[in-house]
Amino acid sequence: MRSQGPQTMTYSAAAAASLAAAMHADSSVVALGEDLGRGGIFGQYRGLLEAFGPERVIDTPISEATIAGSAVGMALTGLRPVVEMRVVDFALCAMDEIVNQAAKNRYMFGGQGRVPMVIRMPIGIWSSSAAQHSQSLEAWFAHVPGLVVLCPATPQDNHSLLRAAVRNADPVVYLEHKELWTLEGGVDPDVEVEIGSARIAREGVDLTLVTWSRTVHESLAAADMLATEGIDAEVIDLRTIWPWDRDCVVRSAQRTGRVLVAHEAVQVGGFGAEVVATLAEHTEARLARIGAPRVPVGYSPPLEAAARVGSQKIADAARRLVRGGEGRGRGTA
Protein backbone atom coordinates (compact mmCIF):
# COMPACT_ATOMS: atom_id res chain seq x y z
CA MET A 1 0.00 0.00 0.00
CA ARG A 2 1.32 3.42 -0.92
CA SER A 3 1.32 6.32 1.52
CA GLN A 4 -1.15 9.17 1.56
CA GLY A 5 1.46 11.65 0.34
CA PRO A 6 3.63 14.16 2.19
CA GLN A 7 3.15 14.71 5.90
CA THR A 8 4.71 17.26 8.23
CA MET A 9 7.15 15.54 10.55
CA THR A 10 10.07 16.42 12.75
CA TYR A 11 13.53 15.16 11.85
CA SER A 12 13.37 12.64 14.73
CA ALA A 13 9.84 11.44 13.90
CA ALA A 14 10.84 10.96 10.26
CA ALA A 15 13.66 8.67 11.34
CA ALA A 16 11.40 6.69 13.67
CA ALA A 17 8.80 6.27 10.93
CA SER A 18 11.42 5.16 8.42
CA LEU A 19 12.89 2.57 10.79
CA ALA A 20 9.42 1.31 11.71
CA ALA A 21 8.61 0.81 8.03
CA ALA A 22 11.89 -1.04 7.50
CA MET A 23 11.21 -3.31 10.46
CA HIS A 24 7.69 -4.08 9.25
CA ALA A 25 9.02 -4.92 5.78
CA ASP A 26 11.99 -7.04 6.88
CA SER A 27 12.06 -9.18 10.01
CA SER A 28 15.87 -9.26 9.93
CA VAL A 29 16.06 -5.56 10.86
CA VAL A 30 16.74 -5.07 14.56
CA ALA A 31 17.77 -2.07 16.64
CA LEU A 32 20.13 -2.06 19.60
CA GLY A 33 21.69 0.50 21.88
CA GLU A 34 21.22 2.48 25.06
CA ASP A 35 17.86 4.05 25.92
CA LEU A 36 15.96 2.57 22.98
CA GLY A 37 13.24 1.33 25.29
CA ARG A 38 12.30 4.89 26.18
CA GLY A 39 12.39 6.00 22.56
CA GLY A 40 15.99 7.17 22.37
CA ILE A 41 17.31 10.37 23.90
CA PHE A 42 16.06 12.38 20.91
CA GLY A 43 12.83 10.46 20.29
CA GLN A 44 14.24 8.79 17.20
CA TYR A 45 13.01 5.33 18.33
CA ARG A 46 9.69 6.44 19.78
CA GLY A 47 7.02 3.73 19.56
CA LEU A 48 9.30 0.99 18.26
CA LEU A 49 9.53 -1.07 21.46
CA GLU A 50 5.74 -1.17 21.70
CA ALA A 51 5.46 -2.19 18.04
CA PHE A 52 8.23 -4.79 17.82
CA GLY A 53 9.06 -5.91 21.35
CA PRO A 54 12.36 -6.26 23.24
CA GLU A 55 13.72 -9.01 20.98
CA ARG A 56 13.97 -6.55 18.07
CA VAL A 57 14.38 -3.26 19.97
CA ILE A 58 17.16 -4.16 22.35
CA ASP A 59 18.30 -2.06 25.29
CA THR A 60 21.98 -2.69 25.92
CA PRO A 61 24.51 -2.11 28.68
CA ILE A 62 26.59 1.08 28.60
CA SER A 63 29.40 -0.34 26.47
CA GLU A 64 29.79 1.01 22.97
CA ALA A 65 32.38 -1.61 22.02
CA THR A 66 29.96 -4.36 23.07
CA ILE A 67 27.09 -2.79 21.17
CA ALA A 68 29.07 -2.40 17.94
CA GLY A 69 30.78 -5.79 18.25
CA SER A 70 27.47 -7.55 18.83
CA ALA A 71 26.02 -5.84 15.77
CA VAL A 72 28.92 -6.98 13.59
CA GLY A 73 28.20 -10.55 14.65
CA MET A 74 24.49 -10.11 14.03
CA ALA A 75 25.15 -8.76 10.55
CA LEU A 76 27.48 -11.60 9.66
CA THR A 77 24.80 -14.13 10.63
CA GLY A 78 22.04 -12.60 8.51
CA LEU A 79 20.48 -9.80 10.52
CA ARG A 80 20.43 -6.10 9.63
CA PRO A 81 21.21 -4.31 12.88
CA VAL A 82 20.68 -0.60 13.41
CA VAL A 83 23.12 0.49 16.10
CA GLU A 84 22.54 3.50 18.34
CA MET A 85 25.70 5.21 19.64
CA ARG A 86 23.70 8.09 21.21
CA VAL A 87 26.24 10.66 19.96
CA VAL A 88 29.31 10.35 17.74
CA ASP A 89 31.53 11.33 20.67
CA PHE A 90 30.65 8.06 22.44
CA ALA A 91 31.35 6.00 19.33
CA LEU A 92 35.06 6.57 19.88
CA CYS A 93 34.85 3.75 22.43
CA ALA A 94 33.79 1.42 19.57
CA MET A 95 36.26 2.49 16.88
CA ASP A 96 38.05 -0.86 16.71
CA GLU A 97 34.79 -2.70 16.02
CA ILE A 98 33.69 -0.12 13.45
CA VAL A 99 37.00 0.43 11.65
CA ASN A 100 38.77 -2.92 11.97
CA GLN A 101 35.83 -5.31 12.00
CA ALA A 102 32.75 -3.87 10.26
CA ALA A 103 34.58 -1.91 7.58
CA LYS A 104 37.19 -4.52 6.65
CA ASN A 105 35.39 -7.85 6.93
CA ARG A 106 34.13 -8.07 3.35
CA TYR A 107 37.58 -7.28 1.94
CA MET A 108 39.67 -9.43 4.28
CA PHE A 109 37.54 -12.53 3.79
CA GLY A 110 37.05 -12.26 0.05
CA GLY A 111 33.40 -11.33 0.18
CA GLN A 112 32.37 -14.44 2.11
CA GLY A 113 30.70 -12.22 4.69
CA ARG A 114 28.87 -8.91 4.47
CA VAL A 115 28.18 -6.49 7.31
CA PRO A 116 24.88 -4.73 6.51
CA MET A 117 24.69 -2.62 9.66
CA VAL A 118 23.72 1.02 10.23
CA ILE A 119 25.62 2.89 12.94
CA ARG A 120 23.73 5.99 14.05
CA MET A 121 26.07 8.60 15.55
CA PRO A 122 24.58 12.09 15.94
CA ILE A 123 27.16 14.75 15.13
CA GLY A 124 27.62 18.47 15.63
CA ILE A 125 27.55 21.12 18.28
CA TRP A 126 24.97 20.39 20.97
CA SER A 127 24.18 23.64 22.74
CA SER A 128 25.80 23.98 26.17
CA SER A 129 27.15 20.43 26.02
CA ALA A 130 30.86 21.25 25.73
CA ALA A 131 33.77 19.57 24.02
CA GLN A 132 32.98 15.89 24.59
CA HIS A 133 29.46 16.15 23.19
CA SER A 134 29.87 18.53 20.25
CA GLN A 135 32.13 16.98 17.64
CA SER A 136 31.68 16.55 13.89
CA LEU A 137 33.86 13.62 12.84
CA GLU A 138 32.53 12.75 9.38
CA ALA A 139 36.00 13.12 7.83
CA TRP A 140 37.33 10.34 10.07
CA PHE A 141 34.85 7.84 8.72
CA ALA A 142 35.14 9.01 5.10
CA HIS A 143 38.84 8.15 5.39
CA VAL A 144 38.11 4.48 6.21
CA PRO A 145 37.73 2.13 3.22
CA GLY A 146 34.60 0.00 3.51
CA LEU A 147 32.35 2.53 5.22
CA VAL A 148 29.48 4.46 3.66
CA VAL A 149 28.94 7.86 5.32
CA LEU A 150 25.60 9.72 5.25
CA CYS A 151 24.64 13.14 6.68
CA PRO A 152 20.90 13.93 6.31
CA ALA A 153 19.96 17.60 6.70
CA THR A 154 16.15 17.51 6.40
CA PRO A 155 13.26 15.41 7.73
CA GLN A 156 12.68 14.07 4.20
CA ASP A 157 16.27 12.96 3.84
CA ASN A 158 16.35 11.51 7.33
CA HIS A 159 13.44 9.31 6.29
CA SER A 160 14.68 8.42 2.82
CA LEU A 161 18.39 8.04 3.57
CA LEU A 162 17.79 5.90 6.65
CA ARG A 163 15.70 3.56 4.52
CA ALA A 164 18.50 3.41 1.94
CA ALA A 165 21.05 2.81 4.70
CA VAL A 166 19.11 -0.13 6.15
CA ARG A 167 18.92 -1.72 2.71
CA ASN A 168 22.62 -1.25 2.00
CA ALA A 169 24.77 -4.36 2.01
CA ASP A 170 27.79 -2.70 3.65
CA PRO A 171 28.24 -0.83 6.95
CA VAL A 172 26.80 2.68 6.97
CA VAL A 173 27.91 5.42 9.34
CA TYR A 174 24.73 7.46 9.70
CA LEU A 175 25.35 10.96 11.04
CA GLU A 176 22.25 12.85 12.13
CA HIS A 177 22.75 16.29 13.68
CA LYS A 178 22.10 16.77 17.38
CA GLU A 179 20.34 20.10 16.86
CA LEU A 180 18.05 19.09 13.99
CA TRP A 181 15.78 16.68 15.87
CA THR A 182 12.94 19.19 16.26
CA LEU A 183 13.22 20.57 12.72
CA GLU A 184 9.90 20.15 10.90
CA GLY A 185 9.37 19.57 7.20
CA GLY A 186 7.36 17.69 4.63
CA VAL A 187 8.04 13.97 4.39
CA ASP A 188 6.76 11.75 1.60
CA PRO A 189 7.41 8.14 2.63
CA ASP A 190 7.47 7.10 -1.04
CA VAL A 191 10.42 9.33 -1.95
CA GLU A 192 13.59 7.36 -2.62
CA VAL A 193 17.04 8.95 -2.25
CA GLU A 194 19.98 7.18 -3.82
CA ILE A 195 23.14 6.96 -1.75
CA GLY A 196 25.74 9.15 -3.44
CA SER A 197 23.34 11.73 -4.86
CA ALA A 198 23.51 15.38 -3.85
CA ARG A 199 20.55 17.78 -3.70
CA ILE A 200 20.52 21.26 -5.15
CA ALA A 201 18.78 23.03 -2.29
CA ARG A 202 18.88 26.42 -4.02
CA GLU A 203 19.76 27.29 -7.59
CA GLY A 204 22.10 30.18 -8.37
CA VAL A 205 24.57 31.49 -10.91
CA ASP A 206 27.21 33.57 -9.10
CA LEU A 207 28.82 31.03 -6.79
CA THR A 208 28.26 27.55 -5.36
CA LEU A 209 27.99 26.78 -1.65
CA VAL A 210 28.73 23.09 -0.99
CA THR A 211 27.70 21.83 2.42
CA TRP A 212 25.93 19.13 4.43
CA SER A 213 24.06 18.45 7.68
CA ARG A 214 22.98 21.46 9.77
CA THR A 215 25.25 23.79 7.81
CA VAL A 216 22.87 23.38 4.86
CA HIS A 217 20.38 25.56 6.72
CA GLU A 218 23.04 28.11 7.64
CA SER A 219 24.14 28.20 4.00
CA LEU A 220 20.60 28.78 2.78
CA ALA A 221 20.27 31.66 5.25
CA ALA A 222 23.60 33.03 3.99
CA ALA A 223 22.34 32.76 0.41
CA ASP A 224 19.29 34.82 1.36
CA MET A 225 21.59 37.51 2.80
CA LEU A 226 23.72 37.51 -0.34
CA ALA A 227 20.66 37.76 -2.56
CA THR A 228 19.85 41.17 -1.05
CA GLU A 229 23.26 42.32 -2.33
CA GLY A 230 22.74 40.97 -5.84
CA ILE A 231 24.79 37.79 -5.33
CA ASP A 232 22.91 34.69 -6.49
CA ALA A 233 24.29 31.64 -4.65
CA GLU A 234 23.61 28.02 -5.47
CA VAL A 235 23.48 25.72 -2.43
CA ILE A 236 24.34 22.02 -2.79
CA ASP A 237 23.52 19.63 0.03
CA LEU A 238 25.90 16.69 -0.43
CA ARG A 239 23.73 14.41 1.74
CA THR A 240 26.33 11.67 1.28
CA ILE A 241 29.92 12.20 2.39
CA TRP A 242 31.05 8.88 0.97
CA PRO A 243 30.41 8.26 -1.83
CA TRP A 244 29.91 11.94 -2.64
CA ASP A 245 28.36 13.37 -5.78
CA ARG A 246 31.42 14.72 -7.60
CA ASP A 247 29.55 15.14 -10.88
CA CYS A 248 26.90 17.43 -9.38
CA VAL A 249 29.49 19.60 -7.65
CA VAL A 250 31.82 19.78 -10.67
CA ARG A 251 28.95 20.78 -12.97
CA SER A 252 27.92 23.55 -10.61
CA ALA A 253 31.52 24.75 -10.21
CA GLN A 254 31.97 24.92 -13.95
CA ARG A 255 28.75 26.90 -14.27
CA THR A 256 29.30 29.44 -11.47
CA GLY A 257 33.11 29.65 -11.48
CA ARG A 258 33.30 30.06 -7.69
CA VAL A 259 32.86 27.47 -4.93
CA LEU A 260 32.81 27.85 -1.17
CA VAL A 261 32.69 24.64 0.89
CA ALA A 262 31.22 25.15 4.36
CA HIS A 263 31.04 22.68 7.23
CA GLU A 264 30.68 22.66 11.01
CA ALA A 265 33.59 20.27 11.50
CA VAL A 266 37.05 21.62 12.23
CA GLN A 267 38.43 23.07 9.00
CA VAL A 268 41.86 21.45 9.38
CA GLY A 269 41.67 18.04 7.71
CA GLY A 270 37.92 18.40 7.18
CA PHE A 271 36.07 16.77 4.29
CA GLY A 272 35.83 20.20 2.69
CA ALA A 273 39.51 19.85 1.81
CA GLU A 274 38.68 16.74 -0.24
CA VAL A 275 35.98 18.61 -2.14
CA VAL A 276 38.26 21.59 -2.80
CA ALA A 277 41.14 19.36 -3.91
CA THR A 278 38.90 17.49 -6.33
CA LEU A 279 37.62 20.75 -7.81
CA ALA A 280 41.17 22.06 -8.12
CA GLU A 281 42.03 18.97 -10.16
CA HIS A 282 39.00 19.08 -12.43
CA THR A 283 37.89 22.71 -12.75
CA GLU A 284 39.29 26.22 -12.97
CA ALA A 285 36.86 27.62 -10.45
CA ARG A 286 37.93 30.02 -7.71
CA LEU A 287 37.83 27.96 -4.51
CA ALA A 288 37.58 28.53 -0.76
CA ARG A 289 36.48 26.66 2.34
CA ILE A 290 35.24 27.53 5.79
CA GLY A 291 35.06 25.33 8.88
CA ALA A 292 35.39 25.54 12.61
CA PRO A 293 38.65 26.65 14.26
CA ARG A 294 40.90 23.87 15.54
CA VAL A 295 39.80 24.18 19.16
CA PRO A 296 37.52 22.08 21.38
CA VAL A 297 33.98 23.43 21.55
CA GLY A 298 33.69 25.50 24.70
CA TYR A 299 30.94 25.24 27.29
CA SER A 300 30.53 28.99 27.75
CA PRO A 301 28.21 30.63 25.20
CA PRO A 302 30.87 32.97 23.73
CA LEU A 303 33.35 30.13 23.23
CA GLU A 304 30.66 27.89 21.75
CA ALA A 305 29.62 30.68 19.37
CA ALA A 306 33.22 31.09 18.24
CA ALA A 307 33.26 27.44 17.16
CA ARG A 308 30.02 27.65 15.18
CA VAL A 309 29.99 28.16 11.42
CA GLY A 310 26.89 30.29 11.07
CA SER A 311 25.19 32.10 8.24
CA GLN A 312 27.03 35.39 8.81
CA LYS A 313 30.46 33.73 8.65
CA ILE A 314 29.45 31.87 5.49
CA ALA A 315 28.09 35.02 3.86
CA ASP A 316 31.29 36.94 4.72
CA ALA A 317 33.45 34.20 3.18
CA ALA A 318 31.25 34.13 0.09
CA ARG A 319 31.56 37.90 -0.37
CA ARG A 320 35.35 37.68 -0.20
CA LEU A 321 35.30 34.91 -2.77
CA VAL A 322 33.05 36.83 -5.17
CA ARG A 323 35.16 39.95 -4.81
CA GLY A 324 38.34 38.02 -5.57
CA GLY A 325 39.95 38.34 -2.17
CA GLU A 326 40.73 34.64 -1.73
CA GLY A 327 40.63 31.31 -3.48
CA ARG A 328 42.51 29.77 -6.38
CA GLY A 329 41.75 29.32 -10.02
CA ARG A 330 40.64 31.60 -12.77
CA GLY A 331 36.97 31.74 -11.82
CA THR A 332 34.89 34.53 -13.30
CA ALA A 333 35.73 37.35 -10.91
Residues with catalytic function: 133
Cα–Cα distance for residue pair 168/146, rounded to 1 Å:
12
What are the Cα distances from residue 127, in Å, to 134, 199, 252, 297, 301?
8, 27, 34, 10, 8
Nearest-angstrom CA–CA distance, 274 and 260: 13
Distance CA 105, CA 144 (A): 13
Q: In whole angstroms, what is the distance from residue 312 CA to residue 307 CA?
A: 13
Distance CA 58, CA 32 (A): 5
- Residue 323 DSSP code: T
Q: Specify whether the CB–CB gap between 121 and 115 falls below 8 A.
A: no
CA–CA–CA angle 107, 244, 239 (5° rounding): 115
Contact 309, 292 (CB under 8 A): yes
Question: Which is nearest to 208 in space by CA: 241, 245, 237, 244?
Answer: 237
How buried is residue 54: exposed, middle or buried, by Cβ count under 10 Å (0-12/13-18/19+)? Answer: exposed
With contact defined as beta carbons under 8 Å apart, do 137 and 88 qualify? yes
Partners of 199 in beta bridges: 237
Report long-range pairs for 59-63 (Cβ below 8 Å, ≥24 apart).
59/32, 59/33, 59/34, 59/35, 60/32, 60/33, 60/34, 61/34, 62/34, 63/93
The terminus-to-terminus CA distance of the chain in angstroms comes to 53
